[in-house]
Structure 1
């Protein structure tokens, strides 16, 4: 495939099974009622494989795409890698992350659908920044509820969003019932999303907008893997492992799933191992249950089939706020359930150490979320990971830069970073009432 990429590629036609349907509470019509454009609905459920990128979106992509890919030889030397490590870097845009790939697409579709204002929740602020930039590009108003602890730790994320014209609220806030009801609780991305859902429903011309776990956002992120595959082909590079970090899943899905689609379409002889890397603080793919759970803290949106540690689980504070989500995307969860992707978990100290080593060797500072992927890539490339080994080469997505995460690296240098792994008993309690996929429906849903 020649660059630039002109169409998104869906993996849905290559699965061979249907995703479990969402369960909608009987008391609400769900987030679709807040204005989800029909084109995004189609992209979530259709068996169509290729989706042309609309020219207004493609024009914006051309400002920063194709994103660079390089062989990280200095990083290889620093870790004593046994195989090549190739890096796909998504930090070279105004949002500093991969999130803008779907933000631009969504803003375009919401604008075309007649929406005037989009509302969202954000963890580390990368998604909020990306959506603010996309709204500025397409003439929409933007309201962002950002996890309060993250906003305090990363104040310049709020500054950048406001510079781009967005209104930013720390979550939990006093603007919503769910925020007021959880004012004393640990703030999480699920709570920020819950506030955004409620706020969006209260205003005419508003729509809730989400950036990671939905099928359409993973579709839009396929530009990452499609570009990476073409770039690797151009230099005759061979890889057998694709690695990305997972909050809900758009970064990993974007870089990894096009490689599965290529193989199943008969375009390649080998399918690489697809390795999802999560935080030990939110280990849904490695320690969670495959069950129906809420996607937000309101309990009024749809319940999705996902690997989850429980939407009620009090996730400990972490510098990798983009990974602080209780569940994985329903697409990735189904693929994990069917054995098509593998998973591992990394602590934040190990992630930040990997990020520091990458900065010292490659002179690129990764976001803490990307540090998780780099730590896993180092383990695979050196043979330290006994369960995931590479014989030919590793592709890892550095999903964003860490220039607005320097407080995390300051704490690393000061020896103040703590690893707070998920508590077994707390996870057990938070998932005890969830209904496993395939069991009877929970009460109050249809």
Structure 2
């Protein structure tokens, strides 16, 4: 870097944007995936799904976004106003105290998505999805949630637009994270441990295994079943599909402006992945730049060792193929890296990363070698979260700890090689409602 750039980087502690810099367009990476994105297929005919065949579960506005190949899609003013109310734009921080503790020549930055009222990046799409349902007259939304962050976000967004919300929460998380269900209920949502006795599929699952810990696939099946069988009701989801990835790109677009303000270009961009939404939102705008030859960054998706939908391809645990997004086989078939829709994950504490498949857009980028992936053990991620808490003063979500642990690994490698790098990661959520998990893992 030039001297002025070095000075800006040294001085950067917190980089902020004004409210009028909330992005006015979402970036749609479908327009730029080399070779295009494999279409979703009808589970019966195995033919590409027609727009009308999505309408049982989604409003027309979101279907248009899901199937769009336009590069940029307008963000409605009402959505931008709601995003401002939850604290967008979010700040970018320099992790200088973490750097000092590691003794690394790397410069580490993190985008703070933990500052929303519900504590994660999830409201970025929850608000958009609730809005497009609301303007089409839908009055009830159903959904699943793993760790509870998505359920909390959609409950809040539904309340904002005066809608009813029903959430099926994976049972292991329902038991591990009781305060998240209270958050949802405060916003007016009905919350059920999944598998539940509220749906036919839930009851069948419990008959086979009364002690079933649940999975996101099962919870999705229950939410879709309720949506299809209830009047004026649609289904919403917090990850995987194209329109969800699209809405999250406000994160990366803001980060682009913030890094430019301090004359920094990322060498590595890191985020955790379950279904892929925070990784997509954080990296896709930068991947667009890389595809145009404007940067040479590495993009690293970090998943748990016990749920290796991407990295499992090397050992034969996962495959890149068409699969259902849910356990009951009610969704369209999606081309993705998958552990199999009947995969039952271990009840790890990072409940938001316990999904059997990866978003089709993220999967396509991994298949083409445009992004990289790592799998980390649970104990390492909690140790990383503890170090981050003690140096940067923020308690991260167990999911976000995967990104932190990866950033620490790469920063330590920079120390070993005496190499300067700019490492940027997405702090996707806070862990203030995950303290029991920390106590369990760290022996407190």
Question: Aligned residue for 2:158?
Answer: 135
Q: Check 1:31–1:298 CA distance in 2 against 1; reply closer, same or farther (3 A cut).
A: farther
Separation of aligned partners in 2, 1:174 and 1:35: 21
1:405-427 Cα deviation digits (max 9, x unpaired): 00111112317xxxxxxxxxxxx
Of 122, 147, 163, the match for 2:186? 163
Query: Within 2, Cα distance between the matches of 1:371 and 1:86?
Result: 15
Which residues of 2 match residues 114-193 of structure 1 at below 5 A? Answer: 114-183=137-206, 184=209, 185-193=212-220
Aligned match of 2:119: 96
Q: Who is 1:350 aligned against?
A: 380
RMSD: 2.1
Instruction: Tell me how far apart the structure 1 counterparts of residues 187 and 104 of structure 2 sit (CA, whole Å).
Output: 41
Alignment correspondent of 1:383: 413
Preserved contact between residue 33 and residue 364 of structure 2 (Cα < 8 Å): no
Does residue 302 of structure 2 align to residue 272 of structure 1? no
> How far apart, in 1, do the equivalents of 2:330 and 2:216 lie?
16
* Corresponding residue number in structure 1 for 2:315: none
Equivalenced residues, count: 412
Matched, 1:339 2:366: no
- Looking at structure 2, the residues matched to 60 and 90 of structure 1 have their Cα atoms a distance apart, in angstroms, of 15
- Confirm or deny: 8 A CA contact 2:340 2:356 kept in the other structure: yes
**Which secondary structure state, in structure 1, belongs to the residue aligned with residue 330 of structure 2?**
coil
The Cα of 1:307 is off from its aligned counterpart by 0.4
Question: Are residue 249 (structure 1) and residue 276 (structure 2) matched?
Answer: yes
- Picking from 365, 369, 373, the partner of 2:399 is 369
**Structure 1 counterpart of 2:31, from 5, 8, 13:** 13
Q: CA deviation at 1:249?
A: 0.4
Equivalent residues in 2 for 1:47-58 (5 A)?
Answer: 47-58=69-80
1:20, CA displacement in angstroms?
1.2
Mean CA deviation greater in 171-180 or 12-21: 12-21
Residue 45 in structure 1 maps to residue 87 in structure 2: no
CA distance in 1 between counterparts of 2:357 and 2:259 reads: 32
Whether the aligned pair in 2 keeps the contact of 1:186 and 1:315 (CA below 8 Å) is: no
Are positions 1:289 and 2:319 aligned together?
yes
Superimposed CA distance per residue, residues 169-209 of structure 1 (whole angstroms, 9 cap, x where no aligned partner): 11010011111111123411111111101111111101111
Unaligned stretches of 5+ in structure 1? 416-446
Q: Show structure 2 runs of 5+ residues with no match.
A: 1-16, 313-317
**Does residue 435 of structure 2 align to residue 406 of structure 1?**
yes
When normalised by structure 1's length, the TM-score is 0.89
TM-superposed CA distance for 1:56, in Å, is 0.9
* Correspondence for 2:40: 22
Aligned residue in 2 for 1:107:
130
SS of the aligned residue for 2:310 comes to: helix
